[in-house]
């Protein structure tokens, strides 16, 4: 599992080391890790070190110092190094080390922005070491103009030092202009802002350099499951399991207008291993479900008379599906774990509990927040996804899974998961219905034995629902990537791939 922290948490963890005079040691460890990461990347790209060029954009703070010391190490490996001092001054010891190693220094001025950008764009590597984790807001003046020019010209390879300049390491908010990195070499631990959108758009791959502060770190601000975690988390039937002990999922989905959503949700649930699916809905939609999924038990009754371990509510239900909306309200009143998607969101009570997992996209989350008096709009949600997911979870009392390029899952306690295994081709109609089915299936299978789950999911208590939702997001993303193979897919393709992902894991 990847544990990520806010920049504030990292700085607090570093403080005792700085107070005892170890600041220079931490900087050298960071610079050494940065320099080695650059060397590895160049070699992987078939670029020889001797004669290759590196341009470091160095701010006046410690982030610039990290970049300057790394540049000095690269100069001693035979690389042609240039430091662009974006504030006219820089970390004195780092600057001295670079000069001693034979590096070139340019002080950026308003009159030299264009020429400096043109030269930097030709470098083998550009290292962005302008702003660090403690910076407030974005770049200004000539530094901002330089970054704008470089972003237009797109250098061959960009490495961000600790965090891309302009990205808030705590929240992931991005303050333009930001130079999009191919690789972010970050120190101490991953930062929450690198694993949440839009910060993740600019961070590229994230490589963590240990600098010796791990023992001082608190509880992480954000977690991410990796492939090695999933076999320990996914439910597996025992020798004497039966369909009821493997979880029974109730599904209220589909309408006259969107009947296919019910089919896709049921197919996702079945592929994710649930023991039985009970569908409640209109007869014509039920007929469609039976044709596609003969295993599903279909009916037109009420949730109160339906015995299940969890509910999936909302895919394909519009505002005119009054009978289905009444079933949504009835299922919500049972107190069982709920995966609530799309049309179910406006029909839920205002006060919810953590076992309710809401699965909105950005537009739906903006509408949900507006119901509670907050109105960021869709753009506001997309520009601050981590803050929006946390706010929605806090206001509703529910677990919130915010769908996107990076899927965030926020628990009312403040615990957050981030998963990003999906392909952009997964942005297709019906994909969210399959995700809802996977989530519902996992809720039904993992609803019991909270003590056992706490040790395997990495979180306990009310936060375990967020862990289950993150697991569903990971399986869904992997299924989409497997189905795509780099090309277009449909939601039906994703549903077919879920079983293979589960089997492989």
Whole-angstrom distance, CA of residue 87 vs CA of residue 67 = 14
* pLDDT confidence of residue 452: 45
* pLDDT confidence of residue 449: 62
Whole-angstrom distance, CA of residue 67 vs CA of residue 73 = 10
Q: Which residue has the tokens 């960021």?
A: 376
* pLDDT confidence of residue 450: 60
CB-count burial class (<10 Å; 0-12, 13-18, 19+) for 180? middle
Cβ contact 435:357 at 8 Å: no
- What does the DSSP assignment read for 353-387? -TTEEE---HHHHHHHHHHTT---HHHHHHTSHHH
- Residue 432 token pair: 């969210």
- Residue 373 token pair: 């008096």
CATH architecture for segment(s) 2-224: 3-Layer(aba) Sandwich (3.40)
Distances (CA, A) of 56 to 47, 160, 422: 18, 10, 33
Whole-angstrom distance, CA of residue 96 vs CA of residue 420 = 41
Q: Could you tell me which residues come within 8 angstroms of residue 319 by beta carbon, excluding any fewer than 6 positions away?
A: 325, 343, 346
The model's pTM is 0.95
What's the chain's Rg over C-alpha atoms? 25
Whole-angstrom distance, CA of residue 294 vs CA of residue 301 = 19
Pairing label, strands 399-402, 276-280: unpaired
* pLDDT confidence of residue 455: 55
Task: Please count the other Cβ atoms lying within 10 Å of the Cβ belonging to residue 40.
Answer: 12
> Could you tell me the residue ranges of all domains in the chain?
2-224, 247-504
- Omega prior to 177 cis, within 30 of 0: yes
Distances (CA, A) of 451 to 248, 304, 355, 412, 456: 21, 28, 15, 19, 9
How is domain 247-504 classified at the CATH fold level? Answer: 3.40.1190
- Residue 390 token pair: 């946390």
CB-count burial class (<10 Å; 0-12, 13-18, 19+) for 249? buried
Secondary structure (3-state) at 106: strand
Q: What is the pLDDT of residues 285-298, one digit of tens each?
A: 999 999 999 999 99
Whole-angstrom distance, CA of residue 419 vs CA of residue 424 = 14
The beta-strand segments (E) located in 188-244 are: 190-191, 205-209, 222-224
Whole-angstrom distance, CA of residue 242 vs CA of residue 418 = 33
Low-confidence ranges of the chain (pLDDT < 70): 449-456
């Amino acid at each position: 599992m990847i544990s990520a922290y806010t920049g504030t948490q990292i700085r607090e963890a570093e403080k005792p080391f700085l107070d005892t005079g170890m600041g220079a040691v931490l900087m050298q460890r960071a610079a050494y890790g940065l320099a080695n990461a650059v060397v590895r990347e160049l070699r992987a790209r078939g670029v020889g070190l001797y004669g290759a060029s590196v341009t470091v954009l160095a701010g006046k703070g410690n982030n610039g110092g990290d970049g300057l010391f790394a540049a000095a190490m690269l100069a001693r490996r035979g690389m042609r190094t240039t430091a662009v001092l974006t504030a006219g001054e820089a970390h004195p010891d780092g600057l001295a080390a670079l000069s001693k190693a034979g590096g070139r220094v340019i002080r950026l001025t308003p009159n030299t922005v264009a020429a400096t950008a043109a030269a930097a764009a030709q470098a083998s590597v550009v290292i962005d070491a302008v702003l660090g984790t403690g910076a407030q807001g974005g770049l200004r003046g000539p530094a901002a103009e330089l970054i704008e020019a470089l972003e237009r010209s797109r250098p061959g390879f960009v490495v961000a030092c600790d965090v891309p300049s302009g990205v808030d390491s705590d929240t992931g908010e991005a303050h333009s202009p930001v130079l999009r990195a191919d690789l972010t070499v970050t120190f101490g631990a991953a930062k929450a802002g690198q694993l949440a959108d839009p910060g993740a758009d600019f961070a590229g791959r994230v490589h963590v350099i240990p600098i010796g502060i791990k023992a001082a770190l608190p509880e992480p601000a954000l977690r991410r499951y990796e492939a090695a975690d999933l076999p320990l988390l996914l439910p597996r039937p025992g020798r004497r399991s039966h369909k009821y002990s493997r979880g029974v999922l109730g599904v209220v989905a589909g309408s006259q207008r969107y009947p296919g959503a019910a089919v896709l949700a049921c197919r996702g649930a079945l592929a994710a291993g649930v023991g039985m699916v009970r569908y409640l809905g209109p007869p014509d939609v039920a007929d469609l479900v039976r044709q596609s999924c003969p295993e599903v038990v279909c009916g037109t009754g009420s949730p109160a008379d339906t015995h299940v371990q969890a509910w999936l509510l909302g895919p394909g239900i519009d505002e005119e599906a009054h009978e289905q909306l009444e079933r949504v309200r009835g299922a919500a009143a049972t107190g069982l774990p709920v995966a609530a998607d799309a049309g179910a969101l406006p029909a839920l009570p205002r006060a919810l509990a953590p076992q309710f997992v809401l699965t909105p996209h950005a537009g739906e989350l903006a509408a949900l927040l507006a119901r509670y008096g907050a109105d960021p709009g869709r753009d506001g949600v997309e520009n601050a996804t981590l803050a929006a997911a946390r706010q929605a979870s806090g206001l509703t009392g529910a677990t919130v899974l915010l769908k996107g390029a990076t899927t965030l899952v926020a628990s009312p306690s403040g615990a957050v998961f981030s998963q990003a295994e999906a392909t952009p081709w997964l942005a297709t109609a019906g994909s969210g219905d399959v995700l809802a089915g996977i989530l519902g299936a996992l809720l039904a299978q993992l609803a019991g034995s909270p003590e056992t789950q706490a040790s395997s999911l990495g979180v306990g208590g009310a936060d375990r629902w967020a862990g289950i939702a993150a697991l569903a997001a990971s399986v869904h993303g992997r299924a989409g990537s497997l189905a795509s193979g780099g090309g277009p897919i449909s939601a039906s393709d994703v549903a077919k791939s879920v079983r293979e992902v589960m089997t492989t894991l």
